[in-house]
Amino acid sequence: MLEKATVSVDLVKIAENARRVVDALGGRRVVGVTKVTCGSPEVARAMLAGGVTALADSRLENLAGLRDAGVDAPLWLLRAPVPALAEETVRLADVSLESEIETVAALDEAARRLGKRHSVVAMVDLGDLREGMMPAALPAFLERAEAMESIDLLGIGVSLTCYGAIVPDAKNLGELVALTHAAETQLGRRLLVSGGMSSSLDALVAGTLPHRIDSLRIGESILLGVSALTREPILGLHTDAFALEAPVIECFSKPSKPIGTSAQDAFGERPQFEDRGLRRRAICAIGRQDVDPADIVPVDPRIEVLGASSDHLVLDVEALPEPPRPGDAIAFVPGYSATLRLFTSPYEEKVFAKERS
């Protein structure tokens, strides 16, 4: 009998996925991104065992957790800090992705105070419209950053797909390479080309990833085994390294359409329901505070996710030969947004398996 919702993580499969990605990229640096697991040290070590050269996260709190856990690897901060957090950034991160020169100046000052150096990847916006300076602003940014005493300009980078859903392709990745060549001419030395995230693996498969791109920041594909563009399996990776089990707390036959005058639900939405007659439905002890109900797939295809409130997941289990009883576990495979919310929530137990069962 299951007492509470539990997320199981197969660290062997994560390490194997990391190794397959590293091998497929043929010598390019792979920075393993841990942010979907809130900087889990266990997941970080599995990525390192698979051959990633550094680890990255968007939150300083997660980098601090990795440091405190003794994870020995270069750490990248993916989300640029505000200037007031420059000292904490220099203490925790070896590299940060930057687009505002004011922030880089604050990092330089903090690094000088601490007697350290801090590396920066200059981020350009090539169409996704999330972070990054416009390409025309890059030369002036490089000139000022290069003159700073304690800042090392490591390379040029781009983010694609996460916000604007823009596909990395020969055009935008080629523009990144051209910008890097121009930057190298300006600075007189070779730079790293950080060519995006998991979505750039599709360009690798399609044969359109420029050879000059020598680093990718990969999280979702290593952890979930799928393309970030299609959510379909990619590179023969394991797609079941994460599993969710939630306990049943109720199972009754009920009408499939609510009864009475309809208004907004708890989230300000007006849900629509199909009248399918009397159906057996199970309620599980997990809700939208913990997981994205639209992004979990029941392992048993006879089970259908109907929706969720803050704390209750509603399932149609009419097709099961026997109704589940309170305490029975219902198993799901979570997608990216579901995994992100599961690790952000403190209410689910996390179990890490280091060996094959």
Enumerate the active-site residues. 35
The type of residue at 130 is: R
Whether residue 86 contacts residue 109, with contact meaning beta carbons closer than 8 Å, is answered with yes
Which residues have a Cβ under 8 Å from the Cβ of 306 and sit 6 or more positions away?
Answer: 281, 314, 315, 316
Whether residue 100 contacts residue 127, with contact meaning beta carbons closer than 8 Å, is answered with no
Dihedrals φ, ψ of 289, to 5°? Answer: -65, -25
Pairing of strands 6-10, 349-353: parallel
What whole-number distance in Å separates Cα of residue 127 and Cα of residue 159?
Answer: 9
Element (H, E) at 268: none
Dihedrals φ, ψ of 248, to 5°? Answer: -75, 135
SS3 313: strand
Q: Taking the mean position of all CA atoms in its chain, how far away is CA 344?
A: 12
